[in-house]
């Protein structure tokens, strides 16, 4: 019998867990929202008995008192040959406040006995971060602050298609002017490299276009940056495997997230794909 594939989705309220669950449902997973942690193991056993191939479960802070049970449950399920992938959806506080304000929904931890509802919402979000801290540490984090629902769906589908038994490298380009991704394990700043933006013939192109690639390849410091990042990652990846990491997100940032960071993400993904499963994201370009 093939091993059951299980995806556990946790994260901040308002970060897009429902969107992620819909993406998994589209991908053929049997999905359950807001399952109490006490029912996790019995539910998985039942689905195994029914011969279900793939299940996805969402849990949130409403189960806060029993969430500490989950890490041990996941370890036990893995020992029983359940292929477990754990995703944590996050977003910065400003984004979460805006989303709750736009939808006029109450945060699950909001207090009603206060006149300052904005302060109450911020306090609720910070409390939620504290309560979910351990879950975040043990999951692959997706930062949804700057991405649209369609981007999130695509990212989730790409992640679950990666081999669950191997370390997967996620290379992500971004613009520093729009903030550093919250899901990055490593961040490399490449703003000191020559900038194609100041070349009139390259300004409207991206790091995926050959003229931009040729321009950057012609500068020794760009090659040096590529080599230094490649050497650093190659040195530490096997240690991360020994630490039982499933995903490592490497974020490369430049000013606008259009040329230098995109080029290096493409080049690094190509180089590492010869030995490791790799995924690419371009936060700013994917939003266009």
Closest CA to 95 of 10, 174, 184, 16: 16
3-state secondary structure of 51: coil
- How large is the C-alpha radius of gyration of the chain? 20
Q: Which two tokens stand for residue 96?
A: 């979460």
Sheet strands (E) in 161-246: 168-175, 186-189
The backbone torsions φ and ψ at residue 253, rounded to the nearest 5 degrees and listed phi first, read -120, 140
The backbone torsions φ and ψ at residue 115, rounded to the nearest 5 degrees and listed phi first, read -85, -20
Specify the residue for token string 């490298």: 169
Q: Distance between CA 190 and CA 188 in Å, rounded?
A: 6
3-state secondary structure of 42: helix
* Binding-site annotation, residues for ATP: 11-18
* Binding-site annotation, residues: 11-18, 60-63
Largest CA distance in the chain: 63
> Nearest 10 degrees: CA dihedral of 258, 263, 269, 270?
140
Residues 34 and 63 sit within 8 Å (Cβ to Cβ): yes
H or E element in which residue 94 lies? helix 93-103
* Binding-site annotation, residues for GTP: 60-63
């Amino acid at each position: 019998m093939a091993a059951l594939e299980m995806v556990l989705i946790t994260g901040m309220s308002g970060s897009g867990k429902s969107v992620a669950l819909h993406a998994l449902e589209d991908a053929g997973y049997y999905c359950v929202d807001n399952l109490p942690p006490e029912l996790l193991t019995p539910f998985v056993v039942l689905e195994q008995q029914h011969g279900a191939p793939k299940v996805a479960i969402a849990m949130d802070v409403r189960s806060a008192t029993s969430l500490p049970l989950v890490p041990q449950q996941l370890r036990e399920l893995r020992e029983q040959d359940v292929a477990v992938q754990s995703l944590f959806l996050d977003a910065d506080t400003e984004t979460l406040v805006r989303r709750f304000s736009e939808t006029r929904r109450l945060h699950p931890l909001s207090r009603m006995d206060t006149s300052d509802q904005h302060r109450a919402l911020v306090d609720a979000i910070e409390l939620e971060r504290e309560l979910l801290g351990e879950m975040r540490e043990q999951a692959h984090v997706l930062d949804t602050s700057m991405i649209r629902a369609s981007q999130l769906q695509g990212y989730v589908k790409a992640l679950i298609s990666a081999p669950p038994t191997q370390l997967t490298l996620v290379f992500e380009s971004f613009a520093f002017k729009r903030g550093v991704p919250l899901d990055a394990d490593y961040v490399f700043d490449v703003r000191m490299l020559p900038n194609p933006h100041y070349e009139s013939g390259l300004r409207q192109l991206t790091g995926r276009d050959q003229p931009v690639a040729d321009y950057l390849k012609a500068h020794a410091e760009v090659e040096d940056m590529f080599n230094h990042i490649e050497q650093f990652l190659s040195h530490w990846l096997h240690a991360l495997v020994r630490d039982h990491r499933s995903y490592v997100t490497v974020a490369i940032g430049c000013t606008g997230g259009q040329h230098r960071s995109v080029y290096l993400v493409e080049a690094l993904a190509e180089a590492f794909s010869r030995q490791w499963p790799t995924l690419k994201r371009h936060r700013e370009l994917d939003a266009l």
